[in-house]
Structure 1
Amino acid sequence: MSFFSRKWIRRWMRPVGAFAIAAAALAAAYAQPARSGKTASAPQYRSQEVSESDGIPVLIKHLPDWEAKRREILFATDAAGLRPVFTDSELLSLIELKAGAEAASAMYPAGRLVIVEYTTPQASIDADAKITAHLAAKSDGRTAYRRIGNYNAFVFGYTDEAAANALLDQVRYEKMITWLDDPPVASGVSKAEREFAMTTSDIFLSTVLAIGLGMGVSIAGGIICGFLFFLFRERQRSRTTAFSDAGGMTRLNLDGLTPDSISSKLLGD
């Protein structure tokens, strides 16, 4: 191998070697455990909707004073996770945490609060009907219940009903749903029928407004023109210096019934 070939190889191998050393150092830095003594842990909760800032499910943050209750909050994504807080097994059987439904619970002075969130209003309404019927038939007198948006909220083991209702009043359903397109119409009414009714009403309203506007403009124009004509005639009359009772009219006495004018009663020159 010639001198120039060896020189060319050494020249181009130096950057490659430096890059390989840097890559190895970077890999070693990522591979070694953290020196702070803390290792990465798996998320504590598995939820359909979590906060972007801290990874906590949004449902937990809707519990009253959730930060103070953070260490004792119970979060469940299935019915088995709610067994420790539901003493009524029949009532628990009505809670179906499927298709993303979740529940959160915490203990308060008024009682244990449980919030069950369903993914659709229909599922929440169906569960509400079953729960209401069950509590009406087999109420223990210590369970408060209320449907709040898509939340089905319970207060178990309360001793003061007013305090339990006040605790339920602190639960807020703060989600907002917006339609990207026109909202769906009521069942039984097609979209074409709805558009026809809206178009007809718009045409009728615009026609009535056009007629009313035309009449208003006509009346206002007539009043203005009449007032201007009145002013014009008054100005003409004010410029007239003499007045004649004859009026400048000549009448022929063809029937012979009209008496001759008495010259003594006529105005002279």
Structure 2
Amino acid sequence: MTFHLRVPSFIICALLLSLPVSGAGEAANFLPDRIGEFQAAGSPRGGAFEDYPLAEFPVLDTVKRIYLDQARAPYSVTLVRLRTEPAAYALLTSVADRLRQREAVVGSDQIGTWGVMTPSEVAFFKGTCFVLVSKAKLGTPEALRSLARGLAEKLDRGEGDIPPLVRHLPDWESAQNRAVFTLSLGELQAAAGHRPALEALSFDGGTEAITASYGPARLVIVEHTTPQFAADNDRRIIEHLKNLRAIGAPLPSLYRRIGNYAVFVFDAPDEGFARRLADAIRYEQVVRWLGPNPRAWERWERAYNRMTASVVVTTLKVTGLALILCLSIGSVLGGVVFFRRRARAAKFKNYTDAGDMVRLNIDELTAQTDPTRLLGPAK
């Protein structure tokens, strides 16, 4: 005899949601059961990041989880763990570029290391983690930001900073909101508009790139890790541009090597605009010694000489200022005393060497205007 047990479908769905799904990996540990007032609905689930392709990024694992607020409104959280912090920032800028195509994006450093916000989504990175938080129609923007902020507080901060290349953009603080940071040629081409001139680039050795729009123009900065990589790419790019010019293919408005940077300007309105944009880029060279610096003594000696010269110059300046101050104060006080005595002396019409004291007119030479003030003859 065979027995058939019928179980309602909603119970099966609930049981499936309550079971952890393989593939979440270690990233599931970053999504706790409760974040502030938000309660998780079901277990973390691993899987692909459907809306955004991750083939160009060094992804370790991806995890998703649904959270409910006190009004039972659902919020979807997707966390992607990557190998490096620059890769996490690169994924954030790529997602932000796609979000800008749908709605207004506002950049902010108040959530995670850096993030972008829209009325319906918040994306940020912190350490090696990238997080995207989305709300349903029942959710509120305030609750969305509160959930993202609470989740960011639980993540390791890592270096706690954006890649240095971002700060080398002209007017980088405003350009960062529209910039895309990339670690591969495919992502750079997608962000810059598939430019033929970029096909000669090689991203070997940890090369990084960033692109941003400046009015009608598109700026691309590619940073190579060593001068050798920069020189090899520079020769390859120049040769590639010659070939493009020979076949009449589109060329950049300007190409220039600046230190380890390869700088491209596309679609500039004129040559002067492209040149000014490239001139605003400053390459900061950093040299690191694998062992003791062989020129440490020379650097210390130069620093000591600069310090000594600075002390001497400062002493002379202070001495000169003190002398000028003393002479100025002495001149003012002396002048005040001189003119005050002069004014007092001008009040007396007759001069007497007795200083207004009683004086005997023995020599009878001094003219007397008031005889009653004279002493009489001696008795």
Task: Specify the structure having the higher radius of gyration (Cα).
Answer: 1
Q: Which has the higher helix share?
A: 1
State the TM-score, normalizing by the size of structure 1: 0.49
Q: Which has the higher strand share?
A: 2
State the TM-score, normalizing by the size of structure 2: 0.35
Higher RCO structure (Cα 8 Å, ≥6 apart): 1
